[in-house]
Amino acid sequence: MPTTGQSGEVPARSKRADALRNQQTLLSAAAAVFVTSGVDAPIREIAARAGVGMGTIYRHFPTRADLVVAVYRHQVEACAEAGPSLLGSADSPLAALRQWVALFVDFLVTKHGLANALQSDSSGFDTLHTYFLDRLVPVCAQLLDAAVDAGEIRPGTHAYELMRGVGNLCIGRDSDPRYDPRRLVELLLRGLQLPRSS
């Protein structure tokens, strides 16, 4: 429990930590709603999932575009931070790569509709895309290199091309509920694997 000063107020650092935690909870809830209902989901659905009032969302994110961009950045950071963590905890580099690609697919599914939410702000979209590449390509490269070094996958696959391929497999998921990109992404990852020597 945070200590209070003589005035009975919680120190500013605790307030900032609480506010950051609340914002992270809100962004995670919004991301989950975007996956199931798209970026045009009602704000009340996001508020209910986060356990906050709609006013709280509007106070942090005055427009839908503000919320969508914040969710996008939140997910990029989560995906970037997950790479090294998975590499340290998974059974093998290939298992870590598979788990990371699954997170990346979840992120891509959420990202659909981003351009529409930003409407005519193409420079804003370009800035976010550059940020996305700068943060995630090195993480994917680290996972690929570790799996190559472990003799689990073939060398020669570049992180950008793998991410682009996964992204292309995710297109169409919004418009066709019968299509599950995860199955095809798994086939793509199997194609990278080296046969086990007996």
Nearest-CA neighbor of 51 among 26, 34, 16? 26
The DSSP string of 162-197 is HHHHHHHHHTTTTT-TT--HHHHHHHHHHHHBPPPP
pLDDT of residue 187: 94
Spatial separation of the C-alpha atoms in residues 198 and 190, rounded to whole Å: 18
Percent of the chain, pLDDT > 90? 47
Q: What is the pLDDT of residue 185?
A: 94
Query: Which CATH number does 64-198 carry?
Result: 1.10.357.10
How far, in whole angstroms, is CA 17 from its chain's centroid?
Answer: 22
Please give the full DSSP string across 51-63, using - where no structure is assigned: TS-HHHHHHH-SS
Regarding predicted confidence, which is higher, 123 or 195?
195
What is the per-residue pLDDT for 172? 73
Fold type of domain 12-62: Arc Repressor Mutant, subunit A (1.10.10)
In this prediction, what percent of the chain has a pLDDT beyond 70? Answer: 83
> Where along the chain do the CATH 1.10.10.60 domains lie?
12-62
Give the whole-angstrom CA distance, residue 64 versus residue 72: 12
**Measured distance CA(169)–CA(180) in Å, rounded:** 9
Whether 76 has a pLDDT exceeding 60, the answer reads yes
pLDDT of residue 38: 78
User: Where in the sequence of the chain do the CATH 1.10.357.10 domains occur?
Assistant: 64-198
Q: What does the alpha-carbon distance between residue 94 and residue 192 come to, in Å, rounded to a whole number? A: 10
pTM of the entire structure?
0.78
CA distances from 100 to 43, 115, 171 (A): 29, 24, 19
Phi and psi torsions of 193, nearest 5°: -65, 140
Say how far apart CA 143 and CA 7 lie, in whole Å. 51
Please, what is the average pLDDT of the chain?
84
